[in-house]
Amino acid sequence: MADTQTIRNIALAGHRGAGKTQLVDAILFTAKATDRLGRVDEGYATTDFDQEEINRHLSINAALAFCEWDKHHINLVDTPGYADFMGETYFALRVVDAVVVVINATEGVEVETERIWKLANEYDLPRLVFINRMDGERASFEAAVEQVRSQLKANAVPLVIPLGAEAQLRGVVDILLGRAYAWSGEREWQEVESPAELQEEMESYREQLMEAAAEADDVLLEKYLEEDTLSLEEMIRGLRLRVLAGKVVPVLAGAGLRTIGVPQLLDYVVKFLPSPADRGVVEGTAPGSEEEVTREPSPEAPFCALAFKAIDDRYVGQVTYFRVYAGTLRSDSQVYNANQGRRERVGQISRMQGKTQLPVSAIQAGDIAAVPKLSATSTGDTLCEEVAPIILPVPERLEPTLFLAVHPRARGDEEKISSGLARLQEEDRALLSYRDEDTGELIIAGQGQLHLDVVVSRLREKFGVEVDTSLPKVAYRETIRRKAEAEGRYIKQTGGAGQYGVVHLRLEPLARGSGFEFQDEIVGGVVPSQYVPSVEKGVREAMKRGPLAGYPVVDVKVTLYDGKYHSVDSSDLAFQMAGGIGFRNAVQNAQPVLLEPIMNLEVTVPEEYMGDIIGDLNGRRGRILGMTPQDGEQKIEAQVPLAEMSTYATDLRSLTQGRGRYHMEFSHYEEVPPHISERIIAQRREELERQK
């Protein structure tokens, strides 16, 4: 087992195309954890093993790998950088102790890099920056460092200087050590003389590093002020303290595909990033209460771990990834699921090298591992000792931005689709599926079109069901504008006992959102009291299909004020039928109108996109309610018809280059403008006719 002090749990995170997955393979190869350098472009990267990832050449899932370096155990979490799969990244950053932010040297700081940086700030995670793809066309180390400082507001201090750039990249200069390393092969490099033209730049950067280290504590600062220098050991100690405090962000550089700069990255992950012990006590709550409970990150403390990811392995079934925060867990033991209140049998514990499971006998505080076939454990559950229960906090599910209705291609596949989606939600916390009570459609909701395309593909590949998707139907309503009265008559004579029920109903519009009100004004027993509930039942049934387009009728008061009955032929059924007929007759004369759902919308965007966003919302029939500055951005509050929002997530991403975000919730119903109402009613009537 790895000692807690020598463990490093790091996530590699950044914008798509920065080369994170290739860098993971370069780390594993350099540290001799693998015997060949995996390649994303050729489909055999260690942490992109899902078939969808191989086909699409992008990371979809957070994946685990590990290596040993300088007597330290390093757990690597490779995270997706595509916006549609950021839910994986959000949860992955919850279980690591630091982040290596990977930046493409040819593109600089991009939008998902900014999101990840903000998230790392929220989680108070120390970080390093690795400027990757320095061998790419237009690669610029200086420009990338400047963007880290200006766009991310980071105190960035370079630890290396690239030897060359673009096609001439051949190695790096380690500023702290004052040594240059040139690469001659994948695992082959040699120390070379530092170029004379870089001496001035090296001295300038080294002075920056020394100043940054000196500010770590009074002892270092006093020595630096007195002697104008610090030893290498003092610089490393000072820089580590400031990195752990989030005051300094070291910057390295290289090219993952050629393993250039990777040994230096590993060196400084070990030197500067925290161990689980450095992160301090773990805080949680007692099950069933808000009482705070803490655990020391020690192998001797009561065991607790967080299940943060599940994957479906075709050979062993579900495999659960977990991070141990305290105590020790052994294979073939028992734990307690504090969220579910159930005991779990733990089988063989394994470390994950991509999809490969490498068995271990035990795992202790600070480490990350996996176990198959946990029967009751879901992503986000806490595993612990039953005598010392604790529930660890987890990130909330990301709010969906795109909704699609799912339709089976084959009859009888509904149950397979539902069970498949339930399994996929276990793996993917950004996925949501539910049955819309208003429209009856099965809805899948996620972070974007690509996200839901992958869900549909997995339903086909893993569960053998073919589905089609469409934009969800809008839950329109119908109501009335004026008062109207009508008779409902249901009389049948068949030779024996007949059916007889006559009612007189008055309809009146109610305030929007009031729903339905039924009033009994019968005098003199013209409709016996036992039949009044039947009249109301008939009215409620008739309200399910309005006269305009068959949508439910709402915000109506119905008064039963007169009627007739027959002492022999009247019945509950007769008055139920009469109530429905009376309602349908009256609503035709009450000036029925179509209503649509209106949503409260909050859009947060950088200032420069305000004009485009407001113009777009106006084009969606939106009403701007207000604008508020918020953390250097603008929050726009508006009300917009739901019918105009089906593609908003994609359109907002396009308008703001991915920097906009929004929150939407139901507000109320409003009348649909006449020219739009006519089109909706015509389309709905055609649909109902086809269904017949």
Query: Does residue 421 fall inside a structural domain?
Result: yes
Task: Indicate if 307 and 414 belong to the same structural domain.
Answer: no
Task: Indicate if 292 and 416 belong to the same structural domain.
Answer: no
Task: Indicate if 120 and 153 belong to the same structural domain.
Answer: yes
Instruction: Judge whether residue 274 has pLDDT over 80.
Output: yes
Task: Indicate if 513 and 660 belong to the same structural domain.
Answer: no
Task: Indicate if 458 and 603 belong to the same structural domain.
Answer: no
Task: Indicate if 85 and 34 belong to the same structural domain.
Answer: yes
- Residues 520, 533: contact at Cβ < 8 Å? no
Among 529, 562, 590, residue at a domain's last position: 590
Domain that holds residue 43: 4-195+246-279
Per-residue pLDDT band for 1 (boundaries 50, 70, 90) equals low
Dist CA 129 CA 549 (whole Å): 58
Instruction: Judge whether residue 185 has pLDDT over 80.
Output: no
Query: Does residue 213 fall inside a structural domain?
Result: no
pLDDT value for 537: 97
Q: Which two tokens stand for residue 116?
A: 């990840």
Q: Which of 216, 107, 112, 226 is nearest to 157 (CA)?
A: 216
CATH of the domain at 177: 3.40.50.300
Query: Does residue 607 fall inside a structural domain?
Result: yes
Task: Indicate if 84 and 191 belong to the same structural domain.
Answer: yes
Per-residue pLDDT band for 631 (boundaries 50, 70, 90) equals confident
Query: Does residue 241 fall inside a structural domain?
Result: no
pLDDT value for 116: 96
Q: CA 419 → CA 262, 400, 433, 464, distances in Å? A: 44, 20, 11, 12
Per-residue pLDDT band for 314 (boundaries 50, 70, 90) equals confident
Residues belonging to the chain = 692
Task: Indicate if 68 and 175 belong to the same structural domain.
Answer: yes
496-525: pLDDT as tens digits: 678 999 999 999 999 999 999 999 999 989
Dist CA 354 CA 33 (whole Å): 12
CATH of the domain at 662: 3.30.70.240
CATH of the domain at 430: 3.30.70.870
pLDDT value for 485: 96
Q: 482 or 397, which is more confident?
A: 482
pLDDT value for 366: 96
| Average pLDDT for 285-310 | 94
pLDDT value for 345: 95
pLDDT value for 460: 93
Among 537, 555, 590, residue at a domain's last position: 590
| Average pLDDT for 416-438 | 91
Q: CA 182 → CA 28, 40, 195, 280, 349, distances in Å? A: 20, 24, 11, 39, 40
Among 351, 384, 417, residue at a domain's last position: 384
Instruction: Judge whether residue 495 has pLDDT over 80.
Output: no
Q: In the chain, how long is the greatest CA-to-CA distance? A: 118
Instruction: Judge whether residue 29 has pLDDT over 80.
Output: yes
Query: Does residue 225 fall inside a structural domain?
Result: no
Q: Which two tokens stand for residue 170?
A: 């051949």
Cα 656 vs. chain centroid, distance in angstroms?
Answer: 19
Task: Indicate if 658 and 516 belong to the same structural domain.
Answer: no
Task: Indicate if 453 and 487 belong to the same structural domain.
Answer: no
Q: CA 396 → CA 114, 380, 400, distances in Å? A: 20, 10, 12
Query: Does residue 263 fall inside a structural domain?
Result: yes
358-399: pLDDT as tens digits: 999 999 999 999 999 898 899 999 999 999 999 999 988 888
Query: Does residue 226 fall inside a structural domain?
Result: no
Task: Indicate if 275 and 330 belong to the same structural domain.
Answer: no
Query: Does residue 395 fall inside a structural domain?
Result: no
CATH of the domain at 380: 2.40.30.10
The mean predicted confidence, pLDDT, of the chain is 93
- Domain tally for the chain? 5
Task: Indicate if 539 and 667 belong to the same structural domain.
Answer: no
Per-residue pLDDT band for 691 (boundaries 50, 70, 90) equals confident
